[in-house]
Amino acid sequence: MKSSSKIIKSADQGWNGVEPKKYKTEGSNFKSISRYSLLDDETSELNSHTRYFEIEPDGYSSLEMHRHPHSVVVLKGSGSVILDDQISEIDTHDVIYIAPEAIHQFQADRGEILGFLCIVDRYRDKPVIPSDDFIHANIKSEKVLKKIRK
Amino acid sequence: MKSSSKIIKSADQGWNGVEPKKYKTEGSNFKSISRYSLLDDETSELNSHTRYFEIEPDGYSSLEMHRHPHSVVVLKGSGSVILDDQISEIDTHDVIYIAPEAIHQFQADRGEILGFLCIVDRYRDKPVIPSDDFIHANIKSEKVLKKIRK
């Protein structure tokens, strides 16, 4: 079915008519994170989906990896991101490219929320949670190993 | 060549290392608009490109149409968008889906800049500028016809 043009109005919390969803339906390797599906399968013409994730202070996304890349733009607040052997502080409007197979995790570790858009291919592989052995084989930075949260 | 993960830091004006480009290399049916290519062909794994457009007060994008859809998120300021027979005010963090073939134009008509992300397929058709005849055959709203800028 053909989709019509539409406007999704921003609200004080999230967007009008967009219910925050569970970040993931299984697993427990994340904390205080909500997911807003802004443009998804309902808009059948789109080859990419635009989602918004909001992490409350001290929360974090799961440490994960997958073949599809991520295009990320921080919309609100600040925090940090682990990208393989690097930890970087990220602030509002920073853009992050997460390459295929990069081990990554977002953390709201700076006393603020961290809210970001994450654009992905419509057809994509499922994230994989790396095992401890895999993490230690691929991440050499002690600083990153200490920073990872599970 | 495989791209590495990367972070593009936001700056007071735009982003570090991202030069604002001309909005379009030809035509004159737009005003006071800059284009920042945030994630593009340089990142060869991406099937979608993320660009940022900033329109100064009283500026506007070209009135155009094309087969590829747009996913738009307003990052800064406010303005209006024409989508076929509708004019809508848009504000920071609003999300706009522009359907294939929709006639559309962004205007910074509310005394502020209008800055927005626009996500498109990597492989896409070129925009077409509709003729006056086409506009009048497809847009019936007098309000929209008066609002269009060229």
Closest by alpha carbon to B117, among B145, B142, B90, B144? B90
pLDDT at B42 over 70: yes
A7/B38 CB distance under 8 A: no
Closest by alpha carbon to A118, among A4, A40, A18, A41? A40
Interface ipTM: 0.96
Please give the average per-residue pLDDT across B48-69, as a whole number. 97
Res A1: pLDDT: 65
Tokens of A132: 């401890």
Q: Which residue has the higher pLDDT, A145 or A26?
A: A145
B10/A95 CB distance under 8 A: yes
Tokens 């859809």 belong to B69
Which residues of chain A does B5 touch, with a Cβ-Cβ cutoff of 8 Å? 83-84, 86, 96-99, 102, 104
Which residues of chain B does A84 touch, with a Cβ-Cβ cutoff of 8 Å? 5
Res B2: pLDDT: 76
Question: If pLDDT is split at 50, 70 and 90, which confidence band does B1 have?
Answer: low
Mean pLDDT score of chain A: 96
Please give the average per-residue pLDDT across A131-149, as a whole number. 97
pLDDT at A36 over 90: yes
Is B10 an 8 Å CB contact of chain A?
yes
Which of A106-115, A140-149, B17-26 is predicted least confidently? B17-26
How far does the CA of residue B60 sit from the closest CA of chain A (Å)? Answer: 19
